[in-house]
Amino acid sequence: MLRSLSIRNYVLIDSLDIEFPAGLIIITGQTGAGKSIILGALSLALGSKADLSAIGPAGDSCVVEAEFSVKDESGRMAALLEENGVESGLSPETGEGVLIIRRVLSRNGRSRTFVNDCPAPVKLLSELSSGLIDIHSQHETMMLRDKQFQMSMLDHYAGDKALLETCRSAWTALAGMKRELETMKSRLASLSSEQDYNQALLDQLMSASLSEGEIEDLEAEQKRLANAEEIKSSLCLIESLFGRDETESMPLDSRLKEACRILDKLSVYIPELKELSGRIESSRLELDDILDDIETKEEATEVSEDRLAQVEDRLSLLYGLLKKHNCLTITELIAVRDGLASSLADTSGLEEKIAGIEKEIILAEKTYDNAAESLSIARRAAVKGFAGSVCTLIRSLDLERSVFDVVLGDAAPGPEGKDSILFVFSSTGTSPVDVAKCASGGELSRIMLSLKAMMARYTNMPAMIFDEIDTGVSGSAADKMGSMICSMGAYMQVFAITHLPQVAAKGDAHYIVTKKFSGDKAGTEIRRISGGDRVNEIARMLSGSEITPEAVANAEALLSKQISPISHER
């Protein structure tokens, strides 16, 4: 249940702190007083989209804090809080505890969310809200046209949650296997259709005996062979410059030796010349080594047209393979070769896997069929009691001749079984048809309220807010709707925002929303009323702006009227 609500600088609300009791809580006020503002603030705390225009004039941010008393019997809330790193404060044994949600919205667009004073994502609020409060607006009757909503109502009544979860799990497993099978079959078909072609590509790559770095080596060799004559003649020329040919009278080596001998002789007179002699000797030895290397390179240089042709043929083959397979390097080409070999080898493996998963699918289909059948049996067993209970409640709301029924049929298999559903209705008791095609706005409101009233017995919803669900209803029907809403308060906390005095008189607690003015500044306030104030408020709702003695007497009579409990038995 919602224990308290604190609002700061939200639209017309400067500051508001209010506590709420259990049972049926009535909220009234003149049109435009700000009832929707309070509901909007609560929706903000429960994760609705932030709107910067909601920030009031008293500051650069607004704050909404809601405190809930919860009983998390399923452990769902505790699990959600733990997943988001929030200290739940809920008892591990009973699931009972307090949940404080605070939402801060700033003009810079930043929204901050806290759960039990721990920072939390806004998404968490939306996930928690379904277990905290159900806000039923006057437009929610449109949900009656939604088949998923209709089926959820029947499932709640049937108490088949475990069967539904089993069916959903079986469907998820089956659908996953079928997707995997289709992927495998598609891959096998692709491999099979291209098998001969891929085998030819693989044979060509295998026969090429690819080796990483081969192209670089071949390109270097091709350059040497293509320029072998020039290389050989140039190296011979260098040798001649060193004076090793027979035509040279005194080779460079001999000349340098002679220079060293002369410098050594002169060093007796000039000692520094000894150093120069050593440097020439070092240079001579280095030049001698260089010349030996040049001779070796010259002798190794082969002028071979045959070898050049072999290298160029090999390069042509490798370049062609690179282009054919859209590769830049031999490494990439080797990867293509290995991939082809792997895919061809996968064909037989895929066939075995397909055969295996087809067997698993047969078993999974049986599991799903059994789960769907069990779910269908539970639904069909509940249809009569469900339709009868709803019909009884609808008839109690001044629709004495109405007929409400549920038609179950066959549907395509899905996560929620193989059943289709249709709510049919007739206000006259003849030829009921699809509720979406026959019910007026007031009738839809009464049908929806009847569903909610019945579900209050079978769902663990701590609090519910009816936002003018009685729209389009008046007179004795409104009085009976008030009684029905009041009866729901025996099982849960119920808020009823209403303009009908017959409904307002039923509450355990009554709050009035008013708009106050201070100069040009307007503000919204909410306060709990009782005694004479409550009588006057209901009298205002009966008579309008001028409260007459007759309206007061009528209000007192409404407040003193005993409420006849409405049966919710299946």
Q: In the structure encoding, which two tokens stand for residue 180, read together?
A: 């995997």
Q: What is the mean pLDDT of residues 78-103?
A: 86
Mean pLDDT of 520-537: 88
Q: What value does the mean pLDDT take over residues 83-109?
A: 86
Average pLDDT rounded to a whole number, residues 13-20: 91
Helix axes 161-193, 195-207, angle to 10 degrees: 60
Distance CA 16, CA 32 (A): 18
Residue 138 has pLDDT above 60, yes or no: no
Q: Which CA distances in Å does 7 have to 13, 127, 131, 395? A: 7, 22, 22, 41
β 509-518/521-529 pair status: antiparallel
508: three-class secondary structure by DSSP: coil
What per-residue confidence (pLDDT) applies to 253?
79
Residues 278/259, Cβ–Cβ less than 8 Å? no
CA distances to 70, 377, 527, 537, 570 from 97, in Å: 6, 38, 26, 35, 31
Average pLDDT score over the chain: 84
Q: How confident is the model at residue 568 (pLDDT cuts 50, 70, 90)?
A: very low
**Model confidence at 469, in pLDDT bands (50, 70, 90)?**
low
Over the stretch 250-300, which tens digit does the pLDDT of each residue have?
A: 677 788 888 888 888 888 888 888 898 899 889 888 888 888 888 888 777
Residue 16 in this model has a pLDDT that exceeds 80: yes
Contacts of 130 (CB under 8 A, 6+ apart): none
Band (180; pLDDT cuts 50, 70, 90): very high
**What's residue 460's pLDDT?**
61
Question: Would you place residue 4 in the very low, low, confident or very high pLDDT band (cuts 50, 70, 90)?
Answer: very high
Residue 36 has a pLDDT of 82
Segment 434-463 shows an average pLDDT of 76
The answer to whether 457 and 568 are in contact (CB under 8 A) is yes
The mean-pLDDT minimum among 2-11, 101-110, 405-414, 475-484 falls in 475-484
Quote the CA–CA distance of 448 and 498 in Å, as a whole number: 16
pLDDT value at 364 more than 90: yes
Q: What is the DSSP string of 177-239?
A: HHHHHHHHHHHHHHHHHTHHHHHHHHHHHHHTT--TTHHHHHHHHHHHHHTHHHHHHHHHHHH
Convert the pLDDT of each residue in 194-235 to its tens digit.
777 777 888 888 888 888 888 888 888 888 888 878 887 887
pLDDT score of 562: 44
566 pLDDT more than 70: no
pLDDT at 152: 86
pLDDT at residue 244 in the model: 56
pLDDT at 458: 63
Tell me the pLDDT band of 440, cut-offs 50, 70 and 90.
Answer: confident
* 3-state secondary structure (DSSP) of residue 45: helix
On the question of pLDDT at 511 being above 50, the answer is yes
**Given this model, what pLDDT does residue 570 score?**
34
Decide if pLDDT at 343 tops 80.
Answer: no
Compute CA 328 distance to the chain's CA centroid, rounded to the nearest angstrom: 40
Residue 299 CA from chain centroid, whole number: 74
- pTM value is 0.58
CA gyration radius, the chain: 46
Q: If we measure between CA atoms, which residue out of 109, 195, 84 comes closest to residue 101?
A: 84
Least confident of 306-310, 403-407, 465-469: 465-469
Q: Which of 430 and 114 is assigned the larger pLDDT?
A: 114
pLDDT over 90 (residue 79): no
The dihedral over CA atoms of 374, 377, 378, 383, expressed in degrees to the nearest 10, equals 160
With a cut of 80, say whether residue 46 has pLDDT above it.
Answer: yes
For the residues 172-191, what does the mean pLDDT come to?
Answer: 88
How far CA 255 is from CA of 21, 276, 333, in Å, comes to: 119, 15, 58
**Range 450-479 average pLDDT:** 73
Confidence of residue 247 (pLDDT cuts 50, 70, 90): low
**Rounded average pLDDT over 468-483:** 70
pLDDT at 163 (0 to 100): 95
